[in-house]
Amino acid sequence: MFLRQQSPSMRKALPVQVSHRFAPDSAVFDDGNLVSCAGLVPVMTLAEQAGLSRLLEEKVRIIEPRIRSGAANPAPKLVTLIAAMCAGADCIDDADIVRSGGMKTLFGGVYAPSTIGTLLREFTFGHARQLESVLGEHLAGLGERVDLLPGAKVRAFVDIDSLLRPVYGHAKQGASYGHTKIAGKQVLRKGLSPLATTISTDTAAPMIAGLRLRAGRTGSGKGAGRMVAQAIATARAAGVTGQILVRGDSAYGTRVVVSACRRAGAQFSLVWTKNTKVQAAINAIAEDAWIPVRYPGAVADPDTGAWISDAEVAEIPYTAFTSTDDPVTARLIVRRVKDANHADTLFPVWRYHPFFTNSTEPVADADITHRRHAIIETTFADLIDGPLAHIPSGRFGANSAWALCAAITHNLLRAAGILAGGRHRKARGATLRRTLVNVPARVARPQRKPVLHLPGHWPWEPAWLALWHNIIGKPTPI
């Protein structure tokens, strides 16, 4: 680029420029007192205050390892991996970030990526269940330390859904072809399918209650009953004392899930598959029972205040599972939307979307509450934009452990964001890593007292200091 050939207006639009002339040998990696992830100090201190190492030591036991040295000391190895994930690791090699510069001065018991990978390859289905138990109990520990779920004394939501993470090559155990939606279209794709449950409230971002990796071709609803029961128990342990509403799409509108909700004293709001019986119930709804609801493009009538909308809702009593010994009678709420493909017809053509619920909200409010089930997609987006960007190992057990560590990391970052306050309370994981975790610092020891010298004029300094003061110096439970 030649500056003399540019106009003055173009020169004003130039980006930030380097203010010094550097020689080829002017960049040297030789400072052992610099750290690139100073935010890991308060974040991992919070993890210990919630009992992460203790839970891993108590619950994760590999009795008969294939490689004895690889299965030794699983707790500090998994903590090292979780710390790396907090800093943005999305593959095994990225765990080396917590061994760079002065990181080993700040943290003890840091392990190499190869050692962590050897441990993960020792994991089996049973070991993954041990780690899933750690996930639930650590969430409860975070709940004792941080107000994770404001409003949980009134109402909380348990959402369940699955996704398909694509994998490539022939070496991935459990990888198979399953269906996923891309741009609203069903696509057959090779991958692995995590099933997740989250806990949220009207004012709190979702926390992961459970996560289970499955083969790509596994049906979305397989194992959902047990996952829902565990999620409700985890929600109670995390401090939820109000009513719990379980939400899910049509894959989870089954007798198993409904029974799990009823046994646990929770309400349910589940998409119902349209069949002959459901269609007959929809046809039985009187025309004057349909109520307009607020929908994209809806406007309020200036005279009556009612919504003029292309969406309407109505309800009718419905009894499900009549062919079993345990039929369930509840509300079948139906939302109908004008079909955009038939906009020019003389009479409107409707598309019907029923869901089955025993909630007591008014019909319009129940519909809005049900559609907010999509909040679980924000959790999936965080995972995909972070540790689950890749499924790193060829062994299914290792990938199960990796996914569960990613879930623990998600909850830990979410708790750190709440302590930082402000917009960080609901910020995405990528934002939390960029503003709170990946902060460079220089480690100094004046009078043998460790001090972190952080960048001046850091844009998120108040939030970072709020996180620091809310964690450092607080007692760690024994």
What distance separates the 2 farthest-apart alpha carbons in the chain? 86
233: buried, middle or exposed (CB in 10 Å: 19+, 13-18, 0-12)? middle
Burial code (b: 16+ CB inside 10 Å, e: under 16) for 314-330 equals: bbbebebeeeeeeebeb
- pLDDT at 19 (0 to 100): 67
Label the pairing between strands 441-444 and 155-162: unpaired
Mean pLDDT across the stretch 59-82? 89
Taking the alpha carbons at both ends of the chain, their separation in whole angstroms is 62
Convert the pLDDT of each residue in 317-329 to its tens digit.
999 999 988 899 9
Spacing of C-alpha 303 from chain mean position? 44
In a domain, 120, yes or no: yes
CA Rg value for the chain: 26
C-alpha angle 126-127-131 in degrees, rounded to nearest 5: 120
* C-alpha to C-alpha distance for 290 and 239, rounded to whole angstroms: 38
180-184, 228-232, 287-291, range with greatest mean pLDDT: 228-232
pLDDT band at residue 2, thresholds of 50, 70 and 90? Answer: very low
Has residue 306 got a pLDDT over 70? no
Structure tokens at 257: 């899930």
> Quick one: which of 198, 90, 205 has its CA closest to 147?
205
- pLDDT at 10 (0 to 100): 47
Q: What share of the chain is helix, strand, coil (3-state, %, to 5)?
A: 40, 20, 40
In sequence order, what DSSP letters do the residues of 294-357 get, joined into one string?
Answer: --TT-EE-TTT--EE-SEEEEEEEEEE-TTSSS-EEEEEEEEEEE-GGGTTSSS--EEEEEEEE
- pLDDT at 385 (0 to 100): 94
In a domain, 345, yes or no: no
Element (H, E) at 291: strand 291-292
pLDDT band at residue 186, thresholds of 50, 70 and 90? Answer: confident
Number of domains in the chain: 1
Has residue 230 got a pLDDT over 70? yes
In a domain, 443, yes or no: yes
Has residue 351 got a pLDDT over 90? no
Mean pLDDT across the stretch 186-214? 93
Label the pairing between strands 185-200 and 176-182: antiparallel
In a domain, 6, yes or no: no
Whether the CB-CB separation of 224 and 251 falls below 8 Å is answered with yes
In a domain, 425, yes or no: yes
- Compute CA distances 321 → 48, 134, 278, 329, 363, whole Å: 47, 36, 12, 9, 23
Mean pLDDT across the stretch 198-219? 94
Mean pLDDT across the stretch 168-175? 83
In a domain, 414, yes or no: yes
- pLDDT at 346 (0 to 100): 57
Tokens 């959402």, located at residue: 159
Q: Range of 61's domain?
A: 30-147+392-478
Tell me the whole-structure pTM to 2 decimals: 0.90
In a domain, 277, yes or no: no
In a domain, 239, yes or no: no
* C-alpha to C-alpha distance for 424 and 421, rounded to whole angstroms: 6
- pLDDT at 6 (0 to 100): 47
